[in-house]
Amino acid sequence: MKDETKLTHGGRSSGAHFGTVNTPVYRTSTILFPDYETLTTIKQPFVYGRRGTPTSRDLETLVADLEGGERTVLTPSGLSACTTAILSAVKAGDHILVTDGCYGPTRAFCDTILPRFGVEATYYDPLVGGEITRAFRENTVAVFLESPSSQSFEMQDVPTIAAACRARGIVTMMDNTWGTPLFFKPIAHGVDLSINAATKYLVGHADASVGTVTANAAQTEALTHLHGHFGTSIGGDDAYLTLRGLRTLSVRMRHQFESGLKVARFLRSRPEVARVLYPALEDDSGHAIFKRDYTGGAALFAFEIKPCDQEALRRLFDGLDLFGMGYSWGGYESLIVPSRMKRSVSVVPEGGPVLRVSIGLEDPDDLIADLAAGLDRLNG
C-alpha cells in the first residue's frame, strides 16, 4: 500500500471494537485476567496499562508500518524518544558520536546525563559524510544523526554515514522529526533506529506530547528491553490524539510544505533578509541531498536578518497578527521564534539574527503579508 492508504487504514481494528472506525480511548492501569491459568502464564494480549493498551498498540502498529521497521515504542515526548534510543545502545565505558547540529535538549542530555552513566559523547560536523570514520574510536558504539540540523538546517549524507557505521558494527539512530516517515524513511536508508517527536507533525494539532522510536530487526530486542524497564509510556488520550493526527498527515504536510516554499521564496526576495536556511530551496547547499533522499519536507526553516538591534526585532515580533511566538512547530498554526545555535566542532557563519518559522495551514499569502508588515516595521 502507498503511505496515504496506510495512514487511512493502518492501525485500525474496527472488528475488535464493535465496528467503530477509530480505536477507542483505553484509559487504564489495571487489566484483569479471566482465570488463574491466564494470570500465571500471561497468555493474553494486554497485561498492564504501562505495557500497552489497544489504543497504544494500534498507534505502534501504524507507525512501524510507515517507518518500515520491526517494532515501535511510544514515549511521553520527542526528547524522551531521543534519550530512550540512545540508552538502548550504550553501557558504561562506551563512546557515542552526536551530530553537532542536534536538538538542544538532546545535546544537554549527552553533556550532563550520559557522563553519570560512564558514557562519553563527542560531536561531529553534520557535513562530514563518509569522513565520519575519522572520529570512530575503539569504544564507539553509536552515532546519533539529525537531518536537517536543528536551527541551521544542514543536510547530512545519511546513507553514507549509516553504511560506514554498519561496516564497523556501530548502531545508528536518527531524529527524523523534520522529514517524518512520510517524506524520509531512515531505516530504508540504512539507519537502525528512527526517532520522531510525534508532538510535531504526527499529532499535528498542538495538543499532545508524544515520541516514537522505531527499530529494525537487529535493534528491536535492545530497544524494547530498555523501554520496558524504564517504564516510559503514554496515556490513552495521547495515543488517540496521535492516531487522529496521523490520518491527515499527508494532506497537512503536503499543503504546509508548498506554503513553506512560497513563504521562503518571498523572504529570499526581501532586502532585509541575508539568507534563507531551507534545504527545499534550489539554491540551498543541502538541496542536492534533499532531492536525492526526500520526497518532501517540513514547513520549518530559518532566515537570517541583516544586522539590526533588539528594538528593531521587537517591532517585527510584537506587531505580528498570524505568527504565534512559541517554541514548537509542526502544528496547524504558524510560529516564529529567535533561533539559538550551539556548536562544538562545526562553524555557523556569524551574521545578523536568525529567526525560525513554522508554516501552518493558513493561506500563504496572508502569512506573507504578515511577515512583510513585520519587516517594514523592522525598518522603522
**Which residues form the catalytic set?**
50, 103, 175, 200
* Cα 120 to Cα 93: distance, rounded to the nearest angstrom: 8
User: Dihedral angle at the C-alpha atoms of 329, 344, 211, 168, nearest 10 degrees?
Assistant: 140
SS3 (DSSP) at 63: helix
* Cα 175 to Cα 82: distance, rounded to the nearest angstrom: 7
The residue whose grid cell reads 491466564 is: 38
* Cell triple for 154: 544542514
* Cα 148 to Cα 155: distance, rounded to the nearest angstrom: 5
Contact 144, 106 (CB under 8 A): yes
* Cell triple for 210: 508524544
Contact 174, 147 (CB under 8 A): yes
Q: Angle 374-256-366 (CA atoms, 0-180°, nearest 5)? A: 35
Strand boundaries in the chain, DSSP class E: 71-75, 95-99, 120-124, 140-146, 171-175, 193-196, 211-215, 273-277, 300-305, 335-338, 354-358
Rounded to 10 deg, the angle between the 364-378 and 310-318 helix axes is: 150
